[in-house]
A and B are shown apart, each in its own frame.
Chain A
């Protein structure tokens, strides 16, 4: 039952290698397609790359040519989501933005600092300095669309997307905006790719097998997602259609890697409480599984702990689009919304032999029963987050 402060998703925008609309992405996921391919170097590494991204196809806003790739991606996804939600009639003072960033500014900062050190201060471009701080991609996105209620950047690693949704939900419940965008964008930064290879986190495309015992690592992903959140009463007033309802969010911390299963379980239980739901209500888990064996194992143990005997289908969009940092949580949320809408769980490409048995992994498109989905995230720095959502007609 929706109350006046129920938070609905009323607009969605996505730019990913598998499609630049929620419908196109859902079709690709339904067919178990993957955009992950090997990188020529460094090795071993693979990624899901946006090879033909041209921002002018989506938005051509003053200043964009100076902004880095992640900022451009974020702006373009925001334009798509705002158009989808039909927000034109709402003044900027009533619109906010929460940007989830994981290294989204880093390439600008590295370039600025390297020029400063190697070329000297007089050869640096002073206009780049304000774009080299963590809040810059979010700030220029808000600036591009005149979003004046708030412009916040959360940098919570790979859990940032879900936490941004949670923060935005609470700000809207308090009436600090009529609607707000939750945005994240991920682009490949060569220094991060290199570091991930040297940390042993990445694998060739054929060895990225989420939840599989033969997985050797993850692939990185480029993507941008924007979701428009809005209080249900406000959406109804302006005749906007809800695509999903956000029910509850929680985040918890695991101080050591071996405590991530317990930390994530605590986050999930808290999110279920906040949503007045139980594990039996869940029709789907849109998991954070990425192919990194120890992280997949931790998540599987956590889900077994929470779900118990429930045979809830578990899917993992990163098997198709790679690990897109803070954007991953929004991609998982988008996939969950499209799954609930189509009443079908999308399969996990490449999963043959689960490393941790005891869960109902989706290996082919499967009909869904129920209206609620759980979305999860866990980071190597110990952040564990969970979001419960439902279809709009619940």
Chain B
């Protein structure tokens, strides 16, 4: 009988308002301090000063001229490249050309490449069709995002762009997990990247979905989402491959569940029916008892409907266990980073499993009395963690839940 291939996380790259390395990221999450501030480097037409989680990149992350000459329009690409190089360095794989030649990358994003469109819209008024150049088609090609990483890091395996809105990071990780399980690669990079765009703030603003001040996931007074920019990339690796090269198995990807609400273009199913199916599938396909889940890293955007549907789904799946499982959301610390959000949340789960601590939900002071769940708030909590469930849901209704396990 063939032993199933196990997949571990052997490196992480986290770029967010909390800093550009894993240690800074984890330190900020454990502190539970809200890093959402007035944006210094991004504005949108006729909107007040915007609030969000802004990234300050390091000198080493300067955008190579052969990627783009304009760092403003290529911000998403810059964030993705920064996270990828850090993830490979963390895994001890940077420059390991033989290994990387067979490795691949699956990346997700939601609106980040819209910055390239924005550049066009501004020039269109003055230049008309002359604003279009021969490279425009390539620059707005979503596949270019993972392809840039692959080209710069020397990857020769599958290179995909997953677009499932705010569940993109988890979905990308799920497909990368499958790629390794079926033996199509031993090493895969997976995650997501996104940045601020005009349409993002304008669209959510017009829909009344932006938080008036900062987001307060699961709070009684929650009133909307706060955005962040960032990138999260995990190095996934077949367990024996990681061991044989002396790599670190930081945590295990145990399995995943997926579903689609098919309810509304933007609104989640308020009963969380589809979301619950994804959670249940993650448990059943991984042959895991619900009681082993010690932490739920929630999508927790802070919008009234998202949080309601998510809580209902958790209660449906976990039943009597639900009130005893610690839950938190990292979005009130670094903002909702859209396509990167669930990848950064996966890194939070990896670090939770490593340190046996759960980060608190910033800005949550009075949980919605309807919810009745164990929200971690105020300060980080020590816990005996065996498994973490990382939840994500996106525009269009696609849900993706990732199950991560502790490595001894």
Contacts and interface: CB of A to CB of B under 8 A. Distances in A.
B386 interface: no
Contacts of A228: none
A237 interface: no
B198 A381 contact: no
Nearest to A146: B262
Nearest to B257: A176
B285 A198 contact: no
Interface stretch (A16-24, A47-55, A77-85, A121-129): A121-129
Nearest to A109: B117
Contacts of B133: 195, 198
B121 A114 contact: yes
B15 to A, nearest CB: 21
Contacts of B136: 191-192, 194-195
Given A155-B161, A252-B156, A192 B137 contact: yes
Contacts of A150: 258-260, 398
A45 B144 CA distance: 24
A388 to B, nearest CB: 14
A238 B397 CA distance: 29
Contact of B202 (A92, A116, A251, A255): A116
B159 A251 contact: yes
Interface stretch (A31-39, A131-139, A297-305, A355-363): A131-139
A56 interface: no
Contacts of A130: 203, 265-266, 395-396
B308 to A, nearest CB: 19
A155 B157 CA distance: 17
Nearest to B143: A157
B151 A102 contact: no
A143 B162 contact: no
Contacts of A92: 262
A67 B156 CA distance: 37
A116 B122 CA distance: 10
Interface in A91-110: 92-93, 96-97, 101-103, 106, 109-110
Interface centre among B124, B142, B263 (most CB of A within 10 A): B142
Task: Say which size band chain A's interface belongs to.
Answer: 35 or more
Interface stretch (B50-58, B163-171, B372-380): B163-171
A222 interface: no
A143 B178 CA distance: 26
B389 to A, nearest CB: 17
Contact of A101 (B114, B122, B163): B163
A143 B199 CA distance: 23
A368 interface: no
Contacts of B110: 133-135
A36 to B, nearest CB: 19
A369 interface: no
B118 interface: yes
Interface string A132-168: 1111101110110111111111111101100100010
B199 A142 contact: no
Contact of B259 (A126, A140, A149): A149
A386 to B, nearest CB: 12
B45 A121 contact: yes
B202 A124 contact: yes
Contacts of A255: 150-151, 154-156
A120 B45 CA distance: 7
A383 B264 contact: no
A113 interface: yes
Given A196-B137, A198-B133, A263-B156, A139 B265 contact: yes
A143 B268 CA distance: 12
B104 interface: yes
B104 to A, nearest CB: 7
8 contacts: A124-B203, A139-B396, A143-B263, A151-B397, A194-B132, A199-B134, A253-B155, A383-B147
Given A160-B143, A163-B158, A253-B159, 7 more contacts: A133-B165, A142-B397, A143-B263, A151-B396, A152-B258, A155-B142, A198-B134
Interface of A: 63, 92-93, 96-97, 101-103, 106, 109-110, 112-114, 116-118, 120-122, 124, 126, 129-136, 138-140, 142-143, 145-157, 159-160, 163, 167, 170-171, 174, 176, 191-192, 194-196, 198-200, 250-256, 263, 266, 270, 379-383
